[in-house]
Amino acid sequence: MLIGAQTWEFKSKPVILGAATVVGPEEGQGPLTSDFDFVYDNLEIDEKTWEKAERKLLEHASSLALVHAGISKDQLQLFVGGDLMNQIISATFAARTIGAPYLGVFGACSTSMESLAVAAMVVDAGGAQYALAATASHNCTAEKQFRYPTEYGSQKPPTAQYTITGSGAAVVASSGSGPRITHATIGKIQDLGVKDPFNMGEAMAPAAADTLVAHFKDTGRTPEDYDLIVTGDLASVGHAIVSDLLKQDGVTMEKTAFNDCGLMIYDREKQPFVFAGGSGCGCSAVVTYGHILKRMKRGELNRVLIAATGALMSPLSYQQGESIPCIAHAVSIERGEN
Amino acid sequence: MPAKSKPGARMKLSSTSLTEQEYKQIAKKHKPKPKVLANCLKAFLVGGTICLIGQCIQQLFMTFAGMSSKEASSPTVAVLIIISVILTCFGIYDKIAQWAGAGSAVPVTGFANSMCSSALEAKAEGLVLGVGASMFKLAGSVIVFGVVAAFIIGVIHVIFGLGGNH
């Protein structure tokens, strides 16, 4: 099932039986609002702490995904989840509620595709009939842990990104109808010495380029084989850089639609507080499981490649002067029979 | 190969290989530049306005409460702090700060905002280990280095008899 250097090919093509997305108010005002299953009208998500809010998003999206897949909680044989919090507490507490066998994963903002790849791998290998892949992020938990208190008055540079509030979940099954997962390219850590946590796009762009190039090399595919290729959360700065890097490497993206989830989720003209664009675990999850899967269902897209990007730093490593190690995992999804 | 190379410092795409320096050059083209001049002007305007408001408050204390300028300075600072804390609690101060930059960070209102925002954020972790322990998370270094600077200036004053006539 390993093809080339770092790509898994799933022979049985596991199915995304059902998916769900839940977002906060700011994402609900963005251009993709109609693609989300539920929009909360308050940033607190009706909870007392930001951490509980993030957990609730994850639980809500997961339970909706089960409903959409038409299966009960007891039928679930594996839950693969992760988030941005220390010790991935949101996923773990959600796993307590879900009650299925649980694997916690951490890939920062690449967790969406990391969890989907692991879930697909387990289903493909016969380790589960139904597996749930889910992740969530909350703007205020991320601000609190990685940056400053939410109400602290500091000026952010134009390269800064805005962690999205939202959660995306998908039920992967061995059979059924829905989009099919065909390949997953597992990324390598790339670190070109970027140290600025307010410029994650620049830090993550090499990882995205490397994984995309590896994917095309391993599978023998070209960008034209995809109707849409998206990166996770590189936003305006990182997306421009990755386009340059790919061009340098002889990969032309002109013949396909090449976008970035961090750019798609907000209207940067109307929502200037997002600066360069969106980021966070939830970013590529809600755009993929909400917007992209719905477009596939409508028949607008047949084959897509999602390269979720993650900046694997901690406030500690940053304060100690370390650069930001980054990663990207790509998952290829094909339209199945509806 | 550079003499000091750490693992992963060189990125290998299939046909190209980038060093940190080369990558910096590529990235630089796409990085929006911070508007330094505009930011300085905004900081000057907002910082100045905050000081002007402070001066007005002090004048009010002097005119209506019959205080001397020295007596009026403490209640003036207290009023500015209260205004800053209220604006922080209503989620307004951080929005002003994004526009104003140093203009709202340097005056005493910025100091109050750093304490209030830290306290608000730590509320969920309890009164003692949360609010109590975290309140000075950002403001603490200002106090520490303020004291250190004051000590050094004090020593200079004692040895050389420079400045300060108290």
Per-residue pLDDT tens for A208-255? Answer: 999 999 999 999 999 999 999 999 999 999 999 999 999 999 999 999
User: Number of Cβ pairs closer than 8 Å across A and B?
Assistant: 120
In terms of C-beta density within 10 A (0-12 exposed, 13-18 middle, 19 or more buried), how is residue A333 classed?
buried
Cβ separation A217–B14 shorter than 8 A? yes
CA of A325 vs chain B CAs: smallest distance (Å): 9
In terms of C-beta density within 10 A (0-12 exposed, 13-18 middle, 19 or more buried), how is residue A41 classed?
exposed
CA of B87 vs chain A CAs: smallest distance (Å): 10
A150 neighbourhood in chain B, CB within 8 Å: 94, 117, 120-121
- Summary mean pLDDT of chain A: 96
- CA triplet B121, B127, B131: central angle to 5 degrees? 35
- Mutate which of B95, B121, B123, B142 to test chain A, going by most A C-beta atoms within 10 A? B121
The token duo for A311 is: 């900046």
What confidence score (pLDDT) does residue A130 get?
98
Cβ separation B98–A151 shorter than 8 A? no
Cβ separation A151–B113 shorter than 8 A? yes
In this prediction, residue B3 has a pLDDT band, given cuts at 50, 70 and 90, of very low
Per-residue pLDDT tens for A5-15? Answer: 999 999 999 99
Cβ separation B26–A51 shorter than 8 A? no
A249 neighbourhood in chain B, CB within 8 Å: 13-16
What is the C-alpha to C-alpha distance for residues A64 and A23, in angstroms, rounded to an integer? 13
pLDDT surpassing 80 at residue A132: yes
Backbone angles phi, psi at B14, to 5 degrees: -65, -35
CA of B51 vs chain A CAs: smallest distance (Å): 18
pLDDT surpassing 70 at residue A338: no
In terms of C-beta density within 10 A (0-12 exposed, 13-18 middle, 19 or more buried), how is residue B87 classed?
buried
What is the C-alpha to C-alpha distance for residues A172 and A180, in angstroms, rounded to an integer? 9
CA of B61 vs chain A CAs: smallest distance (Å): 29
SS3 A305: strand
Per-residue pLDDT tens for B89-126? Answer: 999 999 999 999 999 999 999 999 999 999 999 999 99
pLDDT surpassing 70 at residue B163: no
Amino acid at residue number A117: A
What is the C-alpha to C-alpha distance for residues A47 and A291, in angstroms, rounded to an integer? 27
What is the C-alpha to C-alpha distance for residues A118 and A223, in angstroms, rounded to an integer? 24
What confidence score (pLDDT) does residue A105 get?
98
In this prediction, residue A336 has a pLDDT band, given cuts at 50, 70 and 90, of confident
What confidence score (pLDDT) does residue B9 get?
44
What confidence score (pLDDT) does residue B34 get?
84
pLDDT surpassing 50 at residue A195: yes
CA of A327 vs chain B CAs: smallest distance (Å): 12
Angle between helices A50-69 and A89-98 (to 10 degrees): 50
What confidence score (pLDDT) does residue B165 get?
61
In this prediction, residue B166 has a pLDDT band, given cuts at 50, 70 and 90, of low
Per-residue pLDDT tens for A19-72? Answer: 999 999 999 999 999 999 999 999 999 999 999 999 999 999 999 999 999 999
Q: Is B8 on the interface with A (CB under 8 A)?
A: yes
In this prediction, residue B161 has a pLDDT band, given cuts at 50, 70 and 90, of confident
- Assess contact for A284 and A164: CB atoms under 8 A: no
Per-residue pLDDT tens for A166-177? Answer: 999 999 999 999
CA of A190 vs chain B CAs: smallest distance (Å): 6
What confidence score (pLDDT) does residue B16 get?
54
CA of A329 vs chain B CAs: smallest distance (Å): 16
pLDDT surpassing 80 at residue A275: yes
> Per CB distance under 8 Å, which residues of A are interface residues toward B?
48-51, 144, 148-159, 189-194, 199, 202, 205-206, 209-210, 213, 217, 236-237, 240-241, 244-245, 248-250, 273, 325
Interface confidence (ipTM) of the complex: 0.89
Reported pTM: 0.94
What is the C-alpha to C-alpha distance for residues A331 and A333, in angstroms, rounded to an integer? 6
Alpha-carbon A121 to chain mean position: 17
Q: Cα Rg for chain A, rounded, in angstroms? A: 18
Q: Who among A144, A190, A241 is closest to B121 (CB)? A: A144
Calculate the CA dihedral of residues B110, B115, B117, B121 and round it to 10 degrees: 160
- B126 to chain A: closest CA residue: A49
Per-residue pLDDT tens for B5-36? Answer: 444 444 455 445 789 999 999 999 999 988 89
Per-residue pLDDT tens for B33-84? Answer: 888 999 999 999 999 999 999 999 999 999 999 999 999 999 999 999 999 9
B98 neighbourhood in chain A, CB within 8 Å: 153, 155-156, 273
B31 neighbourhood in chain A, CB within 8 Å: 159, 199, 202, 237
SS3 A240: helix
Cβ separation B31–A202 shorter than 8 A? yes
What is the C-alpha to C-alpha distance for residues A45 and A48, in angstroms, rounded to an integer? 9
A250 neighbourhood in chain B, CB within 8 Å: 14-15
What is the C-alpha to C-alpha distance for residues A87 and A108, in angstroms, rounded to an integer? 12
In this prediction, residue A198 has a pLDDT band, given cuts at 50, 70 and 90, of very high
Per-residue pLDDT tens for A66-111? Answer: 999 999 999 999 999 999 999 999 999 999 999 999 999 999 999 9
Q: Who among B16, B23, B102 is closest to A249 (CB)? A: B16
CA of B164 vs chain A CAs: smallest distance (Å): 34
Backbone angles phi, psi at A22, to 5 degrees: -135, 130
What is the C-alpha to C-alpha distance for residues B122 and B85, in angstroms, rounded to an integer? 15
Average of per-residue pLDDT across B127-148:
95
Cβ separation B98–A153 shorter than 8 A? yes
Q: Is B93 on the interface with A (CB under 8 A)?
A: yes
Q: Who among A154, A157, A245 is closest to B26 (CB)? A: A245
